[in-house]
């Protein structure tokens, strides 16, 4: 890949409207993209090498470790939907004025990242904003 | 009375068993191929036999011929997806009582059993119970649409599936710390109506849940479907190492997680052999937001038959039982066949 392309890709990752976090086996943060910076209010430099559960004590540790374990051991994706677990990290609603949800509802996808030998050494966590869907569904349920 | 269901697909066996009248006082026996079927018959387990035609080891014709040669007068209903007129003539010539088109609907079965005086409905029969069974044989023409898979190609798929299953069982054993009874995958062409029946059963039953997950990669797309039979949530939680309260949400999450793990483990091996990585979508518990019957009706016209790899999972020491179906879209079959040709 050209260095120019690489630069673009990095830029896109930074600007993606999806939260991207890379964690190692000790759950230490390795990558924290722009979305995560904006919504958590913590810069990448602040959280880097910090353990996720210590940085954010509100995270349901047992639950998240169980999910991550499936990814590390099975080299397989894992998922979580807002319906079963509303969020991993409590972020404010993206639309603080007109949005009616108390917080951002999140869908998660956990992706294995393997080293050159095929061993899963890290996982990527992608956080999608599912607030609109959640609001739509709860609205339907009420009517 | 002893009733034997002889079919190589575990899915089809369960399907048929579910479709039999609930108040029918019989003992059910199962056989996974013709030879096992004959063994069961010799043990006296086949007063009445529901017999599939295409099976490994010994097919349905072989069973009928053996019965005839040995002078055994067991009653046989042939249950098959392949109901070409020659097949019909041939099995009737070999002494079968009747021919039932797969999948057998409960009404068809009860009408047929009544007709042959093997079962009487308790209480008054309802109008829709009485339906001619001959009708099923008449729509033979429509069967020729859709995909065809030659026996050689099927063997390759079978081998691929076996190898993938071996790898999957190993991965699962390590993840779950439990012994997964290694099932033999079954490669078959599935009638879409069979699937509809299984899904409707899931819709009607509290103990049957269905989870589906799409997968796609390099021209191959499909959907994996897992049916959980009477699995105890307590055991699922224990298996998946789930702590905390087991409310409805936790149960749904458990279903999705288990499905994701079982599907992922198998797909990983399958993908590596085809040299095509798949991405998997979010797993979805069917019928949660829209009734399953509605889903079925929407998709009715889209396809008729498809290639299916079927795996019946059981986990030792846990009340966890489920069927995994990998269904491929028709246009994926061409791509997969191409890839497979290179392996032959």
pLDDT digits (tens, 9 = 90+) for A101-125: 888 999 999 999 988 887 899 999 9
How far is the C-alpha of B92 from the C-alpha of B76, rounded, in Å? Answer: 10
pLDDT number for residue B343: 64
Which residue from B minimizes the CA distance to A76? B264
Q: Where are the domains positioned within chain A?
A: 16-138
pLDDT grade, residue B128 (50/70/90)? Answer: very low
- Residue B241: list chain A partners with CB under 8 A: 66
pLDDT number for residue B197: 73
How far is the C-alpha of B159 from the C-alpha of B340, rounded, in Å? Answer: 11
Q: Tell me how far the alpha carbon of residue A103 is from its chain's centroid.
A: 15
User: Average pLDDT, stretch B1-14?
Assistant: 85
Q: Which CATH class is domain A16-138?
A: alpha beta
Exposed, middle or buried: residue A114 (CB in 10 Å: 0-12, 13-18, 19+)?
exposed
A69 shares contact with chain B (CB less than 8 Å): yes
User: Average pLDDT, stretch B237-259?
Assistant: 81
Tracing tokens 């924290």 back to the chain, one arrives at: A32
Distance from the first to the final alpha carbon of chain A: 52
B244 shares contact with chain A (CB less than 8 Å): yes
Largest CA distance in chain A: 54
The token pair that represents B224 in the structure block: 């994996």
Q: Give this complex's ipTM.
A: 0.73
pLDDT digits (tens, 9 = 90+) for B88-113: 888 888 889 888 877 677 888 888 88
pLDDT number for residue B101: 79
- Residue A80: list chain B partners with CB under 8 A: 253
A138 shares contact with chain B (CB less than 8 Å): no
Residue B256 to residue A79, Cβ atoms within 8 A: yes
Model's pTM, two decimal places? 0.69
pLDDT digits (tens, 9 = 90+) for B21-69: 888 888 899 998 899 999 999 988 889 999 988 787 888 899 999 998 8
A135 shares contact with chain B (CB less than 8 Å): no
Residue A76 to residue B265, Cβ atoms within 8 A: yes
- Residue B171: list chain A partners with CB under 8 A: 73-75
How far is the C-alpha of B171 from the C-alpha of B262, rounded, in Å? Answer: 10
How far is the C-alpha of B50 from the C-alpha of B28, rounded, in Å? Answer: 11
């Amino acid at each position: 890949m050209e260095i120019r392309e690489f630069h673009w890709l990095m830029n896109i990752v930074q600007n993606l409207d999806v939260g991207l976090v890379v964690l190692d086996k000790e759950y230490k943060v390795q990558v924290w993209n722009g979305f995560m910076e904006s919504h958590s209010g913590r810069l990448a430099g602040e959280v880097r090498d910090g353990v996720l559960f210590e940085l954010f004590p509100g995270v349901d540790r047992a639950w998240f470790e169980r999910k991550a374990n499936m990814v590390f051991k099975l080299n397989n994706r894992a998922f979580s939907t807002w319906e079963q677990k509303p969020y991993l990290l409590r972020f404010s609603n993206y639309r603080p004025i007109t949005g009616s949800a108390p917080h951002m509802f999140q869908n998660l996808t956990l992706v294995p990242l393997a080293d050159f030998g095929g061993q899963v050494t890290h996982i990527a966590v992608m956080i999608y904003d599912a607030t609109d869907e959640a609001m739509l569904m709860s609205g339907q349920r009420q009517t | 009375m002893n009733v034997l269901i002889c079919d190589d697909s575990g899915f089809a066996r369960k399907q048929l068993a579910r479709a039999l009248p609930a108040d029918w006082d019989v003992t059910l026996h199962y056989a996974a191929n013709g030879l096992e079927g004959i063994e069961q018959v010799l043990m006296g387990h086949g007063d009445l036999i529901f017999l599939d035609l295409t099976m490994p080891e010994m097919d349905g014709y072989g069973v009928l011929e053996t019965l005839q040669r040995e002078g055994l007068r067991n009653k046989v209903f042939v249950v098959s997806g392949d109901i070409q007129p020659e097949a019909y003539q041939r099995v009737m010539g070999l002494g079968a009582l009747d021919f039932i088109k797969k999948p057998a609907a409960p009404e068809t079965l009860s009408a047929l059993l009544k007709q042959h005086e093997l079962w009487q409905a308790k209480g008054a029969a309802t109008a829709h119970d009485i339906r001619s069974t001959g009708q099923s044989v008449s729509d033979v023409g429509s069967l020729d649409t859709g995909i065809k898979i030659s026996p050689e190609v099927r063997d390759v798929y079978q081998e691929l599936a076996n190898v993938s299953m071996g790898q999957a069982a190993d991965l699962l054993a390590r993840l779950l710390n439990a012994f997964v009874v290694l099932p033999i995958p079954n490669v078959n062409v599935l009638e879409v109506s069979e699937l509809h029946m299984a899904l409707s059963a899931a819709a009607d039953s509290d103990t049957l849940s269905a989870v589906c997950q799409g997968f796609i990669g390099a021209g191959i797309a499909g959907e994996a479907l897992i049916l959980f039979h009477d699995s105890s949530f307590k055991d699922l939680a224990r298996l998946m190492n789930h702590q905390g309260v087991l409310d409805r949400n936790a149960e749904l999450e458990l279903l999705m997680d288990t499905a994701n793990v079982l599907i992922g483990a198998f797909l990983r091996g399958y993908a590596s052999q085809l040299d095509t990585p798949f991405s998997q979508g979010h797993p979805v518990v069917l019928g949660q937001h829209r009734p399953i019957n509605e889903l079925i009706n929407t998709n009715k016209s889209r396809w008729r038959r498809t290639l299916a790899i079927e795996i019946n999972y059981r986990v030792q020491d846990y009340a966890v039982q489920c069927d995994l179906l990998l269904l491929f879209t028709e246009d994926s079959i061409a791509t997969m066949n191409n890839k497979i040709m290179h392996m032959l």
